[in-house]
Structure 1
Amino acid sequence: MPDWSYQTIFRPLLSRLPSRVSRSFTLGAMGMISRLPGGSFVIRTLGHMELSPILKRQAAGLTLLSPIGVSGGVDPSGAAHKALAQFGPGFMELGPVTVDAIRSDDPIRNDLRGEMIYYPDYFENDGLTAIAGRISRKGHGLPQFARLAPMPDASPVEALDQIRRMIETLGEAGAAGFYLDIASGNQPWEHVLQIGKGLAGLSMPAGLPLYVYVPLSLPDDRLSEWLDCTIDIEWQGAVIGEAWLDHIIPADSQIARAGVRNGSPPRLAAVGKTGLEASLGKTVLLRERMGDGFIIKAGGGVHEPLDALRLLEAGADLIMLHSGLVHSGPGLPKRINEAVIYETVRKEPPPEPISFWRNWGWMCLLGIGMIIGGLLAWWIGATEVLLTYDTRFLGMAISDIHHVNHHLLHFMSHDRITLAGTMISIGIIYYQLARHGLRYGQHWARTAIVSSCIVGFSSFFLYLGYGYFDPLHALAAAVLLPMFIFSLRGHTDRPNLKPVNLRNDRAWKLAMWGQLCFVALGFALAAGGIAIAGVGVTNVFVKADLAFLGTTPDQLNAVNPKLISLIAHDRAGFGGALLCDAIAILIIALWGIGQGERWLWWTLLIGGAPGFYAGLSVHFGIGYVDFMHLLPAFVAVFLYIAGLILLYPYMMRKPPI
């Protein structure tokens, strides 16, 4: 569920459901997909969540693949932890964990406009036994930290015993470390301090770090008092919580009507955008007091990459995400990671430019070759239609073909011109991807080129489906294939050196719709390419084709059995070329869209125009205007134009440096 689908389709629909139902449905669906064979690969592919080595962090003896963590409140039941691990985090949190389960049926309130989530019970969880089992069978490779809290209203002695039990049980289950959440409960402050003094006697499993959990709503003077009280404990760091506790409960709230629970007033936890400033303040306080070696994890109110950068600049080492994943979307970890990478590499000397002949130049030449080949094929399709070796294969002159069926040459022209337009589109896209992507070591650009080329060169064998060998196609493949092979040499992935998007502004939100249009276009063109290639090597014609021709395959076979072989060769070739084009467009749409990427917007505009113009103009030129036959093309044009319009403000505007 990347941002282009979450922001446009799923979030508006899910927001109409009760929050608990919405959360259960979303996490359950993601968890189910991740457990299917290849499900994790699909999640990574749709979101392009591959992590750069630049993101690696060392924290208390652990190597984290990225500085982003997922709060335990995002998926308290653990239904989608395997899926969430594919979104780009470096670690996961489970919790809060209490020795016994704490349940609540009160509603969770989600304020979409204010970007806040209101939880009726901040300590709701499945209990120690269930969470220990969850840790032991996690299904992913990320470190899992457990946030431990005593039961509400537990005495200091009971609280210390509960914490000891949880550390022993979860340490054996495989927890990577512990966050001790003592000050978030409803104990009197004197009891909190008493528990803090007793923590010094805890026995920790060897090598597991211990973090103090700092509630967002804890006053600074009490935080200082708490740190003084626990000075004998070897804290590896602190985790700044994301929730405002004891938030004012709306008068009409079901929680308020429920009255007193367990002898204590009802407590509402507010998690969301307003927590950022408090998180920044506590980060600064902890960094000044505890020094550079103290690890700080913060994340309250992080809803866009700029929020994370502000926390890192204030002194945080790692970022925790909660409400941002709900309101901004599952692509937020990736966007933050990209911002962190850019902030890292922008301060370093630029790498040496890659030589034209090393790899990317060969792909530029291949693209130019495709453009020239497409122009030549267009000229042939618009004039003679058939070449000498075509007529020699048929054993018929062009005048003979006209005599058989006066629409037949027009039909062959329509196949060849649509193929020509697709070839020109492919050539433009390849040239641009090589010059602006491969040249700068962009992984996604190389993936788009390689995937598309493999399909393109493999589709040559479709030409042989009906026994017709096209020497011109064979020559073109023989010339272009070495260029493709040379373009694969010595490629090294490099980080993006351009500014990245930091805000969830209107241009970004419109771009999510534009990206959705191009993703849909890529999938639609791929389906069309497969269908056309399949028809080309099987039935050759669809009903609309035969209606336009006013004949049947049997009648054509009766005149010359080789006619259908020649037509099949053109159809299969066009289907393969369309699939080749579609894969490049799809990977661009999935992975390449970025703020300020002007060259890519122009690539989509100029690269798509020849294909659409060729396909539509030749149909109207020869009078093949069956509406249902052209409907997929009209839909594709709509997606193409709408996508360009929606992406324009985002891709043509440079991000702030």
Structure 2
Amino acid sequence: MYRLIKPIFFKFDPEKVHYFVVKRLKWFHDHFPLGQTLLRGSFDINIKGLEREVFGVKFKNPVGLAAGFDKNGEYIEALSDLGFGFIEVGTVTPLPQPGNDKPRMFRLEEDSAIINRMGFNNKGVDTLAERLRLLKSKNSDIVIGGNIGKNKNTPNEDAVSDYIKCFDRLFDVVDYFVVNVSSPNTPGLRALQEKEPLMELLNTLQQRNSKNSISRPILLKIAPDLTDEQLDDIVEIVLETGIAGVIATNTTIDRSSLSATEVVKNEAGGLSGKPLTVRSTEVIRYLSEKSGKAFPIIGVGGIHSPQDAIDKMEAGASLVQLYTGFIYEGPGIIKRICKELVKTA
């Protein structure tokens, strides 16, 4: 079915069609008679052997939805019915912000890729927190990650306060946190990946974490463009700060080996999709081997097939996330990945 409707979707602006589709999905889930039952019957995954516990959180299956797809947590229940084992919302910032000027998302169909420069467009952490509170009040068992960042106008020297605000506001309504310092679409943000500012940020969040009667796992999302020396620093930082793990990787600024036209591939922003498949797996393997598998890794970047997910897990990932592969391959990819993971278990 998706193969039939995908060419129609791809005739329209990527951002506009994204919201068109997810809004219809939510309407179908919420208002269509038996909509939820039909979605779960078609996509939900009831396969034994997929459950796992990672950084103290229990996941019904290891295939999640990456941050950026549902920034404001508006479509969590409907997306979960497609079979995702967990949903990561955000990136969210303390204050609402519109993001970068449109157009800001571009398909590279020849490369099965997307370039985006969204710029942390979101409705702010208060709106997200309230929405998640209502979801939790339903006794929802959906595992939710909160991906947090800083506002565009917040200088890097004050960035820690932005992350703290998001952390405090979401603490009671998410199952784990992701610190996003690796998006290429907020000016100066990637500078926070350098050792000194990153240590300060993560240590501060960990101190905040330890003041609560319970703590939440904190993960760091890193760029695929880091050198081996920088990845060595990441391993050291994770071990020294005691955070729960790493998400590898975010989008890339690399444009090598693309087939798309010069006009499209030179658009500013982060590249995701198949061109990232190999590099993200390399980063996972490097971190896993360098650390001696000392911490969990969530693998994301260029997963367009069950084999792509298996490769990431064999490289050292405990869980995987989809975004661009979900758009290009359709919701059926979740169940296909899970079926193959059971076979290789």
Q: Into which bin does the TM-score normalised by the smaller protein fall?
A: 0.7 to 0.9
Q: Residues of 2 paired with 1:78 and 1:215: CA distance?
A: 24
Cα distance in 1, alignment partners of residues 235 and 293 from structure 2: 16
Offset at 1:58? 0.5
Identity of aligned residues (%): 21
Shift of 1:289: 2.2
Corresponding residue of 2:312: 311
Looking at structure 1, the residues matched to 192 and 245 of structure 2 have their Cα atoms a distance apart, in angstroms, of 23
| Cα distance in 2 between the residues matched to 1:280 and 1:339 | 18
**Contact 1:148/1:179 (<8 A) preserved:** yes
**Does the C-alpha gap of structure 1 residues 287 and 246 become closer, same or farther in structure 2, counting only changes over 3 Å?**
closer
Unaligned runs of 5+ in 2: none
Match of 2:221 among 198, 210, 213: 213
Q: Distance in 2 between matches of 1:92 and 1:14?
A: 23
Q: CA deviation at 1:195?
A: 2.3
The partner residue of 1:84 within 73, 79, 90 is 79
Partner of 2:199: 197
Map 1:427-442 → 2, pairs under 5 A = none
Write out per-residue CA displacement over residues 170-195 of structure 1, whole angstroms, 9 at most, x where no aligned residue: 003x1111111224454374784332
Paired with 2:7 and 2:182, the residues of 1 have a C-alpha distance of 36
Distance in 2 of aligned mates of 1:191 and 1:177 = 20
SS at match of 2:110: coil
CA root-mean-square deviation: 2.4
Equivalent in the alignment of 2:36: 40
- Say whether 1:13 aligns with 2:21: no
SS at match of 1:179: strand
User: Match for 1:112 among 109, 114, 118?
Assistant: 109
The structure with the greater share of residues assigned to helix is: 1
Q: Alpha-carbon deviations, 1:22-62, whole Å to 9, x = none?
A: 11111011011111253211111233x23223100101111
* Displacement after TM superposition at 1:158 (Å): 1.2
TM-score by length of 2: 0.86
Displacement of 1:220? 2.6
Q: Does structure 1 residue 238 correspond to structure 2 residue 233?
A: no
Query: Are the counterparts in 2 of residues 156 and 191 from structure 1 also a CA contact under 8 Å?
Result: no
Quote the Cα distance in structure 2 between the aligned partners of 1:270 and 1:281.
17
Cα offset for 1:105? 4.1
Task: Spell out the pairing of 1:219-234 with structure 2 (5 A cutoff).
Answer: 219-229=227-237, 231-234=239-242
Structure 2 counterparts to residues 442-591 of structure 1, below 5 A: none
Q: Is the 8 A contact 1:19 1:110 kept in 2?
A: yes
Q: What secondary structure is seen at the aligned counterpart in 1 of 2:171?
A: helix
Which residue does 1:178 correspond to in 2? 177
Does the C-alpha gap of structure 1 residues 169 and 246 become closer, same or farther in structure 2, counting only changes over 3 Å? Answer: farther
Once residues 119 and 318 of structure 1 are traced to their aligned partners in structure 2, the CA distance between those partners, rounded to angstroms, is: 24
Offset at residue 239 of structure 1 (A)? 0.6
- Aligned partner of 1:57 among 45, 49, 52: 52
Task: Tell me, yes or no, if the aligned pair for 1:283 and 1:314 is still in contact at 8 Å.
Answer: yes
Q: Aligned residues, how many?
A: 326
Specify every segment of 5 or more residues in structure 1 that has no aligned partner in the other structure, as ranges: 257-266, 345-657
**Residue 288 to residue 63, structure 1, CA distance change in 2 (3 Å):** same
The 4+ residue runs of structure 1 with deviation greater than 6 A are 248-251
Question: How far apart, in 2, do the equivalents of 1:27 and 1:68 lie?
Answer: 19
Distance 1:213 1:38 in 2: 38
Query: Structure 1 residues 167 and 312 mapped into 2: Cα distance closer, same or farther (>3 Å)?
Result: same
Question: SS of 1:211's equivalent?
Answer: strand
Q: Using a 3 Å threshold, how does the CA distance of structure 1 residues 226 and 71 change in structure 2: closer, same or farther?
A: same
The residue aligned with 1:446 is none
Amino acid at match of 2:90: G
Aligned equivalents of 2:157, 2:230: Cα separation in 1: 21
- Check 1:149–1:220 CA distance in 2 against 1; reply closer, same or farther (3 A cut): farther
Residues 315 and 240 from structure 1, CA distance in 2 versus in 1: closer, same or farther, beyond 3 angstroms? same
| Higher-Rg member (1/2) | 1
Which amino acid is 1:117 matched to?
A: I
Aligned match of 2:293: 292
| 1:334-391 Cα distance to aligned partner (Å, 9 max, x none) | 00000011112xxxxxxxxxxxxxxxxxxxxxxxxxxxxxxxxxxxxxxxxxxxxxxx
Deviation per CA, 1:438-477, whole angstroms, max 9, x where unpaired?
xxxxxxxxxxxxxxxxxxxxxxxxxxxxxxxxxxxxxxxx
Greater RCO, CA 8 A, separation 6+: 2
1:229 Cα shift? 4.5
Partner of 1:167: 167
Structure number with the higher strand fraction is 2
User: Equivalences for 1:354-365 in 2 at 5 Å?
Assistant: none
